[in-house]
Amino acid sequence: MLVLAIDTSNRALTVALASDQQLLGEITLNIKQTHSEGLMPAITYLFQAAKLKPAAIDRVAVAQGPGSYTGIRIAVTTAKTLAWTLNKELVGVSSLAVIASNVLSTQRLIVPVFDARRQAVFTGAYQWQQGHLVSVLSDRHIKLAAWLPELLATKQPLTFVGQTAVFSDTIRKMCGKQAKIAPEAANLPRGQQLAWLGQQAQPIANVHGFVPTYLRKTEAEATWLKNHPNNEGHEPYVEEI
Amino acid sequence: MQENSSQTRELILAFESSCDETSVAVIENGEKILANVIASQINSQKRFGGVVPEVASRHHVEQITLCAEEAMTQAHVTYADLTAVAVTYGPGLVGALLIGVSAAKAIAFAHQLPLIPVNHMAGHVYAARLVKPLTYPLIALLVSGGHTELVYMRTAGQFEIIGDTRDDAAGEAFDKVGRVLGLAYPAGGKIDHLASQGQDSFHFPRAMIKEANYDFSFSGLKSAFINTVHNAQQRGEALSHADLAASFQASVIDVIVTKTLRAVKQYGVQQLIMAGGVAANSGLRDRFRQEIAQRDLELDFVVPPLRLCGDNGAMIGAAAHVLYAQGVRGDAHLNADPSLSFPYLAANTTK
Amino acid sequence: MFRYQVASAAATQQVGKQLGQMVKPSDVILLQGDLGAGKTTFTKGLASGLGIQQYVKSPTFTLIREYSSGRLPLYHMDVYRLENGGGDELGLEEYFGGDGVSVVEWPQFIQDEWPETYLEISFTKSTDNPQLRELTFSPHGKRYVQLVTQLQAKL
């Protein structure tokens, strides 16, 4: 199975082409740029280098969030459009799982974190079980101060990975010896890992309906729904005219 | 493979997602609409009294491939039939633009088709081409929530701004005034309707109407309107909303029509195009027609039908046809440009 | 805090122009005041003080307009439309920490996004004379105290 993997959830951009277990190529950039400018040239180069036509792929695997809203929209829009227009399979993988899968050969709880500003994180907890990466505590948006006690209560050894730098002091202080912080090299998403995770997942049945996992309502919508619990006849939100 | 039809007809698949409409169209030879699918978010956005960018972007992701599929189906075309893919890359809301740009680039890559980046405002002008052939030189008046521009076109695909708003766009003034009157967003149509029942009794200022340029200003009108309403409130006086709307609209229309027709005369054009969301205003349309008839001008006044005046993919496809012939191409790096603008005509750059 | 009265739009613009000659990269200026209080007029002055030649148009529709032709980039934001929220998703922190000067109209709608230090300017219309405005400068942080002192000396 030939898989194209795409992740632009945060600052880094990573794309890979993998044929079954074999990586054909991966491009990972960790520079400040707009993903809109960087993504399609990277994909184009991968196919050129591999001497493959776009239609040769069997599946597109995309990191569907959480992460930067604009970033996950670019990846998801590109992935779903490619899958739809080429009539190929589409799978969505948690952007947090992609990072968690960098921490190999451990029975510890793997805790990927993305900085969501104002002391909050996008996070979850994963564990390797029979060679599969399993989500143990679901992906969520939560204040770090509320998340750490929940993790400590599992009594399991923890490995934090991802955007850990800003939180490492707090993590060490609150978790003590129960927590380790993964080495820097594990903090970047890798297209190869996404391709591998994407090969194991079930394809999406309805490509059109595929959207990013934001984990948060927009601020405007949250406020509106709080004041208008019945939505007052505004659905459907989008109509063909 | 494509020996038959695609040799004789140029087919462009065009994407538009600059604001709160997701639209995909298939346009034949720059003039014929084979499909023009428009998904409007207005029902969602009016909850917030205006377009919230993050909400708009989220809806675009939900709609983009659905619209594209429906457009291809309605047009009865396959990818092998297509000549190129076109997309609006600005101006607009950056997050919204990025959805169309990402989708269009993916399709161009997947099927190895040329990509044509289109300025949204060029699209508004070329909506008229879907109605009838254009005769250059011409002037286009683009009036919407974000723009009030007079554009001079010497020839196909050449756009120069000869007049622009110096502050608020006309459509923005409608929305802000509507808010003061307690009208729900979008207020333009409601003010137009109210205005038809009232009289211009407040005589608001006609900003810049006599100045020897083609620029506009609606900020002072907005302030005058607000002051009038607030002063009346302080006196405990109730003003007629119909008269307020009529007075406001009369000021907007007076200035726009006067300056536009002056530009038409000075530049000696024989065709005037009006497009953009505010082109839907019946008072504005009627006034142009009246003035043109009264002054006995030999002027072809083209206003595309309502569906083509708002944002849509068809107009992007029509503009792309011209750009394609001129060799304009985008590549895999194409990015959204939210502040994209036409150049200003040299004589008008100094203020 | 420093109060200053202006009697015309031209005078408002002049104050903005003075400030425009003093601002530095990453400065954030929040403009408070009702519709028509002179916020955009002030911003036009500030833009001319930066040496920006283009028209400074209302950014209400696209929320942010960028001007790059002056001494520093100007990021002109108007979040009037975001009364019910939505400002947290605009990526404002990148502008605030950026190479240019950020001017925000209707900042009360994005209060959660305010940086730690900023200059707040309130525009109050006089009730009896529609031309008269009072501008109140409230600096938050050392940089802005200094900026206001500098401006005060020029006016």
The separation between CA A226 and the C-alpha centre of its own chain, rounded to angstroms, equals 29
pLDDT at A101 over 80: yes
- Where on the phi/psi map is residue A78: left (φ > 0), alpha (ψ -120 to 50), or beta? alpha
CB pairs below 8 Å between A and B: how many?
Answer: 137
DSSP string of B65-130? HHHHHHHHHHHT--GGG--EEEEEEESS-HHHHHHHHHHHHHHHHHTT--EEEEEHHHHHHHGGGG
pLDDT in tens, B147-169: 999 999 999 999 999 999 998 99
Omega before B137 within 30 of 0, i.e. cis: yes
B307 touches chain C (CB under 8 A): no
B46 touches chain C (CB under 8 A): no
CB A195 within 8 A of CB A16: yes
Same fold, B11-126+308-325 and B134-303: yes
Measured torsion, CA atoms of residues C138, C144, C147, C148, in degrees rounded to the nearest 10: 10
pLDDT in tens, B123-132: 999 999 999 9
- Cα C59 to Cα B109, B222, B341, C39, C106: the distances in Å are 34, 15, 14, 12, 12
Residue among B308, B14, B38 at smallest CA distance from A240: B38
pLDDT in tens, B171-226: 999 998 998 999 988 899 999 999 999 999 999 999 999 999 999 999 889 989 98
Strands C101-105 and A158-162 turn out to be unpaired
From C36, C62, C66, residue closest to B93, measured CB to CB: C62
Contact C89 A219 (CB under 8 A): yes
d(CA B214, CA B216): 7
What mean pLDDT is predicted for residues B222-251?
A: 93
CA atoms within 13 A on the CB side of A97: 27
B23 touches chain A (CB under 8 A): no
Contact A220 B54 (CB under 8 A): yes
| Count of other CB atoms within 10 angstroms of residue B114 | 18
- A97 CA: distance to closest CA in chain C (Å): 24
pLDDT at A135 over 70: yes
pLDDT in tens, A181-217: 999 999 999 999 999 999 999 999 999 999 999 999 8
What mean pLDDT is predicted for residues A72-93?
A: 98
pLDDT at B347 over 70: no
pLDDT in tens, C46-88: 999 999 988 888 887 778 888 988 999 999 999 887 877 777 7
Residues of B in contact with C34 (CB under 8 A): 226
**What is the radius of gyration, based on Cα positions, of chain B?**
21
Residues of C in contact with B55 (CB under 8 A): 86
A76 touches chain B (CB under 8 A): yes
Contact B105 A241 (CB under 8 A): no
Q: In what order do the strands lie in the sheet with B148-153?
A: B160-164, B148-153, B138-143, B271-275, B300-302
| Residue whose entry in the numeric block shows the structure tokens 């944002």 | B311
Residues of B in contact with C66 (CB under 8 A): 339
A69 touches chain C (CB under 8 A): yes
d(CA B212, CA B344): 16
A236 touches chain B (CB under 8 A): yes
| Count of other CB atoms within 10 angstroms of residue A58 | 14
- Cα A237 to Cα A73, A77, A209, A240, B11: the distances in Å are 19, 20, 15, 10, 31
Query: A-contacting residues of B 43-62, CB under 8 Å?
Result: 43-44, 46-48, 52, 54-55, 57-59, 61-62
d(CA C73, CA C24): 10
The average confidence (pLDDT) of chain B is 93
Mean pLDDT comparison of B145-149, B251-255, C40-44, highest-scoring range: B251-255
Q: Which fold is adopted by the domain A3-95+189-227?
A: Nucleotidyltransferase; domain 5 (3.30.420)
pLDDT at A107 over 70: yes
- Lookup: tokens for B136: 């250059």
Query: In this predicted complex, what is the ipTM?
Result: 0.96
Query: B-contacting residues of C 99-128, CB under 8 Å?
Result: none
| Count of other CB atoms within 10 angstroms of residue C95 | 21
Look at residue A226 in the predicted model and tell me its pLDDT. 86
Q: Give binding residues of B for Fe cation as ranges.
A: 120, 124, 311
Q: Phi and psi dihedrals of B224, rounded to 5?
A: -60, -40
Which residues, including other chains, have CB under 8 Å from residue A176's CB and lie 6 or more apart? none
B294 burial level (CB within 10 Å; 0-12, 13-18, 19+):
exposed
| Check whether domain C2-83+93-153 has CATH 3.30.930.10, yes or no | no
- Lookup: tokens for C62: 């696209």
From A69, A117, A223, residue closest to C84, measured CB to CB: A223
A24 touches chain B (CB under 8 A): no
Inter-axis angle of helices B282-294 and B241-267, to 10 degrees? 50
What mean pLDDT is predicted for residues A107-132?
A: 95
pLDDT confidence bin for A232, thresholds 50/70/90? low
Closest chain C CA to residue B227: C130
Contact C62 B51 (CB under 8 A): no
Inter-axis angle of helices A69-86 and B94-110, to 10 degrees? 30
C25 touches chain A (CB under 8 A): no
Residue type, B313: G
What mean pLDDT is predicted for residues B309-318?
A: 96
What mean pLDDT is predicted for residues A88-104?
A: 98
Closest chain C CA to residue B56: C86
A218 touches chain C (CB under 8 A): yes
Q: Give binding residues of B as ranges.
A: 120, 124, 142-146, 175, 188, 192, 281, 311
d(CA B281, CA A35): 39
Closest chain B CA to residue C83: B48
pLDDT confidence bin for B7, thresholds 50/70/90? low
Domain boundaries, chain B: 11-126+308-325, 134-303
Q: Which CATH superfamily is domain B11-126+308-325 in?
A: ATPase, nucleotide binding domain (3.30.420.40)
pTM for the whole thing?
0.92
Which of A19-33, B243-257, B333-347, C102-116 has the weakest average pLDDT? B333-347
Domain boundaries, chain A: 3-95+189-227, 103-186
Closest chain C CA to residue B57: C89
Closest chain C CA to residue B224: C36
Q: Which fold is adopted by the domain B134-303?
A: Nucleotidyltransferase; domain 5 (3.30.420)
Contact A40 B65 (CB under 8 A): no
Omega before A236 within 30 of 0, i.e. cis: yes
B92 touches chain C (CB under 8 A): yes
pLDDT in tens, B267-302: 999 999 999 989 999 999 999 999 999 999 899 999
pLDDT at B348 over 80: no
Contact C61 B146 (CB under 8 A): yes
What mean pLDDT is predicted for residues C92-98?
A: 84
Mean pLDDT comparison of A52-56, A232-236, B207-211, highest-scoring range: A52-56
CB B24 within 8 A of CB B13: yes
pLDDT in tens, B77-125: 999 999 999 999 999 999 999 999 999 999 999 999 999 999 999 999 9
Query: A-contacting residues of C 80-109, CB under 8 Å?
Result: 82, 84-89, 91, 93
Contact C86 A117 (CB under 8 A): no
Look at residue B1 in the predicted model and tell me its pLDDT. 42
Q: In what order do the strands lie in the sheet with B11-16?
A: A239-240, B32-40, B21-28, B11-16, B84-90, B115-119
Task: Name which CATH class applies to A103-186.
Answer: alpha beta
Same fold, A3-95+189-227 and A103-186: yes
